Structures are given as C-alpha cells and as structure tokens.
Structure 1
Amino acid sequence: MAENDDFTPMFGKGAPNEAFAQYFIGNSYLNPLTSAAECGVGLANVTFEPGCRNNWHVHHATKGGGQILIVTDGRGWYQEWGKEPRMLTPGDVVVIPAGVKHWHGAAADSWFSHIAFEAPGEGCSNEWLEPVDDASYPQA
C-alpha cells in the first residue's frame, strides 16, 4: 500500500511479519526485542504501514494473560468490540485484559509502531477472528 523506506521506528522496523500476514490487512513488520524463552518476558516492536491493521482477535488465558501495547511512533487505532475506536499516538499505553475482542493498526495516512507485551499467564492462546473491513475502519 504505502512505500516509505525513510520511516525508521524508534525500535527498528524489523522483518516483514510473514508468519502472521494472513491476520493483517496490509503489510506489517516484526522486530523481536526480547525472548520469553530466555528471560520470561516477550517484547516485540510491531510496525504497520499506513492503513494496515490486524484482524479482530482475543488473547485467552485461564489466569493472567492479555496484552499491553506501548505506542512509540506514528498514529494508529485501537478498538474493543462494541466500543468506539481510540486514536493512538506516541506515549499511549493500552492494557488489554485476557478475553477482550479487539484490533489495532495504523491510521490510513500514517505509519504506526508499538511495542507489544504478551502478559504472562496460564493457558494462554490467541484466537484470530474476522478482518476489520473498510467500512468499519476509521479513515481519520
């Protein structure tokens, strides 16, 4: 969609997010910052090209779990099922409890990066759901 080789997020753009591409509209990039296997906490910088967003999804857990997003670059959106979308800018933090259906991604006219922190828990899994269609995606 958007070509901008000059965009350099604070924590690096990383490689094309090919492993999860089927769950995104548009191109995203993944730059792992830590390894949960090595230090017990997994952090990754996720970068979205303008207009890119992930599908609706849920982080499940029987205890604990969920996700925390720390916005570092650009402008993006976060939305929980049944609520209005929320504009995100650098410095915003989003705490997403386990079991909450949501999506996040770039604004239509801006690259967007956030650090994703998968909160530790028991029985953790991700359930990927339907795409966020163009009619529901905020264009502002």
Structure 2
Amino acid sequence: MKIVHARADGASAEARSATFTGTVWGDPVLPTTDGTTINSVTFTPGARTFWHHHEGGQILHVTAGTGWVCTHGEAPQPLRAGDVVWVPPGEQHWHGAGPGSIMTHLAVSLGTTTWLHEVSADEYGQAGQ
C-alpha cells in the first residue's frame, strides 16, 4: 500500500510550461507508480497540451469548466465537467481549455508519455467550427 498525501497547506501548484501552450497548473495526485501517473491539471482559457501520446493510454475526467480534446486527423471534440475520455495507447492527441473558460481535469496516464510538437493556433482554432 502507498499513501500519497495532498499538497501541503500553503504550497503552490506546479506551473507547467515545457509541453503546454498558455498558463497551465498541475497538482500531482499520484507520482508515477507502477507505470501510472495521476495529475489534476488546470488550463486557463486557450491553454492546451502539445500533441502527445501514451504508451498504455490515458483517461481524462473533466472536473470543472469546458474545453477540447482532439485526436490527430480529426476535429476537436468539446468537453465539459463530468465528461470522461479514454485515449487508446499510442493515439496522438491534445487537450485543453476553451477560449472562454478554464478547464480542470484529472489525467490518468498509463506508461510513458511521448511529447511531440506544439498545437498550432490554426489547429486550436478548428475547435468549435
């Protein structure tokens, strides 16, 4: 058994930047354990991940706000609080907030994450069309 205690009182969330566009904050829920990582991630309006994929897939559970998720080669799909997304192993995708809302999700990442290139403004702009 492993118990992971919540962020200490007064401690700040982690600013995420190297593989994200915009302002994104993350709180580790479960550091990588047996190939599984869980983070609570908050995206400010317009913020998003880079394109990426996961060795064993990813589960996203939207807990607040609205946003988008997009599989490579497809149109972005809207997300709102309560939605759950299963991204299969190896599927290239991105996710983030809509232009007028924050979005917070719990991200359960299985296996290694491979980060690719930034989602362009044109790719992001296809959301909602």
TM tier relative to shorter chain: 0.7 to 0.9
Q: Of residues 98, 115, 131 in structure 1, which corresponds to 2:106?
A: 115
**% identical aligned pairs:** 39
Indicate the SS of the match to 1:137: helix
Q: How many residues align?
A: 116
Indicate the SS of the match to 2:99: coil
- Determine if the alignment matches structure 1 residue 128 to structure 2 residue 124: no
1:15, distance to aligned residue in structure 2 (A): 1.4
- Determine if the alignment matches structure 1 residue 91 to structure 2 residue 82: yes
Letter in 1 for 2:13: A
Q: Given the two structures, how large is their TM-score scaled by the length of structure 1?
A: 0.75
Please report the RMSD computed on the Cα atoms of aligned residues, expressed in angstroms. 1.9
Q: Which runs of 5+ in 2 are unaligned?
A: 1-11
CA distance in 1, matches of 2:37, 2:122: 34
- Determine if the alignment matches structure 1 residue 53 to structure 2 residue 48: yes
Indicate the SS of the match to 1:135: helix
1:41, distance to aligned residue in structure 2 (A): 4.9
| Maintained 8 Å contact 2:35/2:112 | no
Q: Which runs of 5+ in 1 are unaligned?
A: 1-13
Q: Given the two structures, how large is their TM-score scaled by the length of structure 2?
A: 0.81
CA distance in 2, matches of 1:129, 1:71: 23
CA distance in 2, matches of 1:24, 1:41: 20
Q: Of residues 68, 76, 80 in structure 2, which corresponds to 1:77?
A: 68
Runs of at least 4 residues off by over 6 Å: none
